[in-house]
Structure 1
Amino acid sequence: MDHWKAAKKVLRYLQGTKDHMLTYRRTDHLEVIGYSDSDYAGCVDSRKSTFGYVFLMAGGAISWKSSRQSVIATSTMEAEFVACFEATNHALWLQNFTSGLGIIDNAARPLKFYCDNSAAVFFSKNDRYSRGTKHMDLKFLSVKEEVRNEKVSIEHIGTDLMVADPLTKGLPPKIYIGHVERMGIMDKSLLM
């Protein structure tokens, strides 16, 4: 019965947002900015965390993902770092894609994305890390290498400004609406 209630909730959400659309702002300075987030052990069955990232350009989302992590994180910092790893991989792809299209000349500067976990940001920028399992070590080393090579830049942001929050957890309606609007999703009746 819980699945039926969840399905009805999804259908009500879709009905209520059918007039929403993705919007972009006119700007002379195009830049891709990302947000990476994770819950911690949110799946009640497997205790795997859910990560999410969203990349914005011209005030609107151009790419996003929400998925269960493939590994079980043993701390909030590890869960957030796995999200940073996934966001880093996608940021590198986006950088190559936008450069190839000639939209943005971002070869000279790293693609910036934000994380709301200060420990994950700290470990991405230095060599301190207590050794863990091999799969986590590889993720840490991969992200650190891209930060060191200035391909990506990971900056800390307050949780209240974390645009990727709706991709990882349920939020109160007012906060959810604020984050969705920051992604560039607007009700078309408000735009006219």
Structure 2
Amino acid sequence: MIEPKRIKEALQDADWVKAMKEELDEFQCNNVWDFVPKPEEVSVVGTTWVYRNKSDEDGFIIGNKARLFFKDYSQQEGIDYDETFEPAGRIKAIRIFLEFIAHKNFKVNQMDVQCAFLNDEIHRDVYF
């Protein structure tokens, strides 16, 4: 299961097609988008797929993960967007958290939030 570089490669492998379908199903399940005609006066943000193999603790490949990303690097400030926000932890905050946990001898559990960004409200239209 080699990670494809382009969608053309991914579409030739049923496992990668399944991974892409799972991602799109998450969008539909969470009511993330509506398909609408593109108004003439708006710019469209492109998308790209990123493919990764999922591994277990021993490094054996156990599955595929496909993520659909916006090509936000193609946007221009003041034209395509006015502000940005990415809900990600800063490394300094993570280090402080882990130091506190170690000091208190607490147990830490890690979990993967599969589609956290899908749960935030956007108060404007975005076309892609």
Structure showing greater Rg: 2
TM-score by length of 1: 0.19
TM-score by length of 2: 0.24
Q: Name the one with the larger strand percent.
A: 1
